Amino acid sequence: MPTEVIVNVEQGVSILSINNPPVNALGVGVRQGLFDALEQAENSPDIHAIVITGAGRTFIGGADIREFGKPPQEPLLGAVCNRIEACKKPVVAAINGVALGGGMEVALCAHYRVALEQARMGLPEVNLGLMPGAGGTQRTTRIVGARAALDLILSARQVKPDELLKLGIVDQVSEYSSAADAGLAFALHIEQQKMGVRPTRERTEGLSNDADNRAALLEARTQQEQRAKHLFSPFRIIEAVEAALDLPFDDGLAFERSLFTQCMESSQRKGLIHAFFSERAVAKSPETRNSKPRTLNSIGVVGGGTMGAGITAALLDAGFPVVMIERDQESINRGKASVDKIYARQVAKGRITDAQKTILMDQQFSASTQFSDLAQADVIVEAVFEDMDVKKAVFEQLDAVAKPGAILATNTSYLDIDEIASSIARPADVIGLHFFSPANIMKLLEIVVAEKTSPDVVSTAFLLAKKLSKVAVRAGVCDGFIGNRILGYYRQCADYMMEDGASPYAIDEAMRNFGYPMGPYQVSDLAGGDIGWATRKRKAATRDPNARYVHIADRICERGWFGQKTGRGYYLYENGSRVGKPDPDVEAIIEATRAEAGIQPREFSDKQIVQRYMAAMINESTNVVADKIALRPLDVDVTLLYGYGFPRWRGGPMKYADEIGLDIILKDIQTFSKEDPLFWKPSRLLVELVERGDTFESLNK
Ligand code: 3H9
């Protein structure tokens, strides 16, 4: 028998513990082990009941995602589930930790379920572009009805025991500390009460309120159309839940299976699973493998502007005491007020209580004008104005006051961290922590490793990111690091298209249809056009005089139109509206700029817009990997997914390129390069990969 299922017999009850670390995924060994152990228990005259539980912290984390895309191996999970349900002796699922996806489906096939306090159940397959494929849609609907089933499956949320009990998904929330003991006690209770078997397929509670079930289906479809109509699996989930109401159980199962197979074959499934594994892989850098983090208890933040306040809130949320340093009392008052405002909003939304806010602001947070108050900080994050001289002046002060071994981090978006580090006596302690605005909300953190940064400083930065619940990506030093460097390039491509004939509104629409929540010009209006304007002015002196330069953005900014905050940018925001309307004045500026440059505007279809935008993004992403600014293509993918709104279901630009075919992307770049060879220089690495017939995925290994 496979070792992934450990069998113990106590008082006539066979206790099957699934033992497949780290998350007890339902790989072929577990499936076979469960099948065999059930068979054995059913045939043994000394056994009167069976308990299924998980060894370790987890009940079952779901189907083994690593098996997806490979030829399926018998026994399939659906068959194992049916076998559990068909068992002639009562089966109890004793849920010790998370029971997710296939894990919840296994539990639903048991005749009874008991949950420990720390148990969580959920069907999160939709996050992977999938749907429950081993009876989850049919059995959940039979127990809780279509409305609750749709809520559970479409939201992917993990449900706590009290709600599971209320929904009738579990029969008991147990106070036992061991799930095996809880399951055993329940099995003995079944025997005593002669409760017998109770196949879920025969349950009908959820099917009884037909009018509400039908209304729930309609509402779910409408909501899905409004929220994410381009996603494939949510609509299949709705169809499967509907089938649970309309079809006999076995037909419903077969229908669910056919929809599951369609989801499995979809490119969205591939993109989402790539995103799942990539976001775990980015946490493993050479430094985190080989060096231990330094002490990480107290943190200082220099600067109380938007970034400083957001970073402070992120740190306070993670439970750190934070000292904020500003140059004078007035700036302190402003910084403190900004942090206070973040929490006041959270109180208003009911996310935290007033009492919690008081603890955060009065006990965890303090502010000072004295750099010497940072003397005990383990990490100091500098978040002052984006200017090399200003930052260097701060670092000089930090060098004077910080204790030996303190980590000195700069929250810069573009500046040369090597230059900052070499300006002080302890460059090994300097690192970049590039937070994204709003820093207490955005998940991405670029950890920028400078030439002399010590490996244990990098490890500490990754530990800090974990404590802040951020997705951290290791980046090297260059102008813009991973994300902003790539953004700069594809934004330039968008500007070229705009000057050549595509309106910003058409570009935005094409990119929204591609899956972005907003187009690049909407983002610019939201972030504020003045930021990019300042950067362009900063770089003007060093710009290649032969490179094409589009003046449209400058012309708009010169009028003081910085986007939403000024009521107009690329769009017009009338009466304080946050939804912009196309602006004829902007169209006139674009036309005038085209005329000035002697450009005859031409048409761009949605497809052509996407083709150029993506070719630019992929080309520069490849350069970023070739230059070792990103460790692997997957690090680029995670950066653009978490910091730049790239549609998750496409997996990231590198995954997208693999799906399209690198030869096709290269051919596009070569075609565009005939118009502008300086901008469209095919990345050397891209050419090499095409010559080798290779993919970006091959570089992720
Ligand atoms: C499904 O069930 C389909 C069925 O309906 C139908 C089938 C017919 N498989 O996240 P962590 C790895 S679809 C393989 O850092 P945590 C993960 O890659 C599935 N591996 O831990 C990582 O590996 P590494 C539905 C898996 O404690 C390690 O485990 N289920 C799986 O923070 C630790 O992971 C889901 O969608 C898996 N299923 O969180 C649940 N899960 O160390 C997906 C994890 O090499 N999983 N790994 O980097 C999760 O949400 C979280 O991993 C979990 C643990 C909450 C379980």
pLDDT, tens digit (0-9, with 9 covering 90-100), for 515-563: 999 999 999 999 899 988 988 898 899 999 999 999 999 999 999 999 9
Q: pLDDT tens across 469-488, in order?
A: 999 999 999 999 999 999 99
Cα 444 to ligand 1 centre (Å): 21
Distance of CA 28 to the CA centre of its chain: 28
Q: Which atom, in ligand 1's list, is nearest to the CA of 128?
A: 36
What share of the chain in percent tops pLDDT 70? 100
- The length of the chain, given as a count of residues: 701
Cα 199 to ligand 1 centre (Å): 28
201-226 burial code (b ≥16 CB/10 A, e <16): beeeebbeeeeebeebbeebbeebee
Terminal-to-terminal C-alpha distance of the chain: 33
CA distances, 665 to each of 116, 138, 267, 271, 489 (Å): 52, 43, 18, 18, 16
Location of structure tokens 């400058």: 554
Enumerate long-range contacts of 254-259, CB under 8 Å, 24 or more apart. Answer: 256/131, 256/132, 256/133, 256/135, 256/136, 256/137, 256/138, 257/78, 257/133, 259/131
Residue pair 503/587 in contact (Cβ under 8 Å)? The answer is: yes
Residue pair 343/361 in contact (Cβ under 8 Å)? The answer is: yes
- Alpha-carbon span 169 to 162, nearest angstrom: 10
Residue closest to 136 by CA, chosen among 78, 74, 196 = 78
The DSSP bridge partners found for residue 300 are 323, 380
Residue closest to 150 by CA, chosen among 94, 212, 96 = 212
Q: What structural domains does the chain harbor?
A: 5-262 (3.90.226.10), 296-475 (3.40.50.720), 483-700 (1.10.1040.50)
Q: pLDDT tens across 415-464, in order?
A: 999 999 999 999 999 999 999 989 999 999 999 999 999 999 999 999 99
- For residue 569 the two structure tokens come to 């940018």
Cα 67 to ligand 1 centre (Å): 12
Query: Ligand 1 pocket check: which of 23, 139, 237, 261 to mutate, most ligand atoms within 8 Å of Cβ?
Result: 23
List active site positions.
105, 125
Q: Which residues contact residue 575 at a Cβ distance below 8 angstroms, ignoring those fewer than 6 apart?
A: none
Cα 228 to ligand 1 centre (Å): 24
Q: Which atom, in ligand 1's list, is nearest to the CA of 131?
A: 5
Cα 61 to ligand 1 centre (Å): 5
Residue nearest to atom 6 of ligand 1 (CA): 133
Q: Which atom, in ligand 1's list, is nearest to the CA of 132?
A: 5
Check pLDDT > 90 for residue 296. Answer: yes
Q: What is the pLDDT of residue 413?
A: 86
- For residue 125 the two structure tokens come to 């397959």
Percentage helix, strand, coil for the chain under 3-state DSSP, each rounded to 5: 55, 10, 35
- Alpha-carbon span 532 to 173, nearest angstrom: 55
Q: Where residue 1 falls among pLDDT bands split at 50, 70, 90?
A: low
The H-assigned helical ranges of 519-661 are 520-527, 529-539, 552-558, 584-596, 606-626, 633-643, 653-660
Number of helices (H) and strands (E) in the chain: give both, helices first: 29, 18
Check pLDDT > 70 for residue 498. Answer: yes
Q: pLDDT tens across 8-21, in order?
A: 999 999 999 999 99
pLDDT, average across residues 153-171 = 98
What does the mean pLDDT of the chain come to? 96
Would you say the CB of residue 279 lies under 6 angstroms from ligand 1?
no
Q: Which atom, in ligand 1's list, is nearest to the CA of 156?
A: 36
Check pLDDT > 70 for residue 2. Answer: no
Residue pair 504/570 in contact (Cβ under 8 Å)? The answer is: yes
Would you say the CB of residue 134 lies under 6 angstroms from ligand 1?
yes
Residue pair 171/132 in contact (Cβ under 8 Å)? The answer is: no
Residue nearest to atom 40 of ligand 1 (CA): 61
Would you say the CB of residue 63 lies under 6 angstroms from ligand 1?
yes
Q: What is the pLDDT of residue 387?
A: 87
Q: Where residue 386 falls among pLDDT bands split at 50, 70, 90?
A: confident
Residue closest to 128 by CA, chosen among 62, 220, 218, 226 = 62
Sheet holding 5-10, edge to edge: 5-10, 13-18, 49-54, 91-95, 112-116, 172-174
Check pLDDT > 80 for residue 384. Answer: yes
Q: Where residue 84 falls among pLDDT bands split at 50, 70, 90?
A: very high
The H-assigned helical ranges of 303-409 are 306-317, 329-348, 354-358, 388-401
* 132: helix, strand or coil: coil
Would you say the CB of residue 23 lies under 6 angstroms from ligand 1?
yes
Would you say the CB of residue 136 lies under 6 angstroms from ligand 1?
yes
Q: How many CA atoms lie within 13 A of 189 on its CB side?
A: 13
Would you say the CB of residue 234 lies under 6 angstroms from ligand 1?
no
Residue pair 97/62 in contact (Cβ under 8 Å)? The answer is: no
pLDDT, average across residues 623-640 = 98
Q: Which residues contact residue 376 at a Cβ distance below 8 angstroms, ignoring those fewer than 6 apart?
A: 298, 403
Would you say the CB of residue 129 lies under 6 angstroms from ligand 1?
no
- For residue 108 the two structure tokens come to 């639903």
Residue closest to 414 by CA, chosen among 660, 155, 629, 570 = 629
Q: Which residues contact residue 364 at a Cβ distance below 8 angstroms, ignoring those fewer than 6 apart?
A: 316, 319, 320, 321, 322
- Alpha-carbon span 483 to 70, nearest angstrom: 33
- For residue 110 the two structure tokens come to 């048991």
What share of the chain in percent tops pLDDT 90? 95
Its pTM stands at 0.94
Q: What is the pLDDT of residue 3?
A: 87
Q: Which atom, in ligand 1's list, is nearest to the CA of 280?
A: 48
CA dihedral 118, 123, 127, 133 (to 10 degrees): 140
Q: Can you state the angle between helices 606-626 and 684-692, rounded to 10 degrees?
A: 100
Would you say the CB of residue 115 lies under 6 angstroms from ligand 1?
no
Residue pair 306/339 in contact (Cβ under 8 Å)? The answer is: no
Cα 102 to ligand 1 centre (Å): 11
Peptide bond into 647 cis (omega under 30): no
Cα 3 to ligand 1 centre (Å): 20
Would you say the CB of residue 130 lies under 6 angstroms from ligand 1?
yes
Would you say the CB of residue 98 lies under 6 angstroms from ligand 1?
yes
Would you say the CB of residue 97 lies under 6 angstroms from ligand 1?
no
Q: What is the pLDDT of residue 395?
A: 97
Would you say the CB of residue 651 lies under 6 angstroms from ligand 1?
no
- For residue 123 the two structure tokens come to 């069907």
Residue closest to 123 by CA, chosen among 245, 280, 260 = 260
Cα 62 to ligand 1 centre (Å): 7
Residue 281 has phi, psi (to 5 degrees) of -65, -35
Residue pair 352/343 in contact (Cβ under 8 Å)? The answer is: yes
Residue closest to 560 by CA, chosen among 587, 595, 533, 588 = 533
Cα 97 to ligand 1 centre (Å): 13
The residue type found at 624 is: V
Residue nearest to atom 19 of ligand 1 (CA): 62
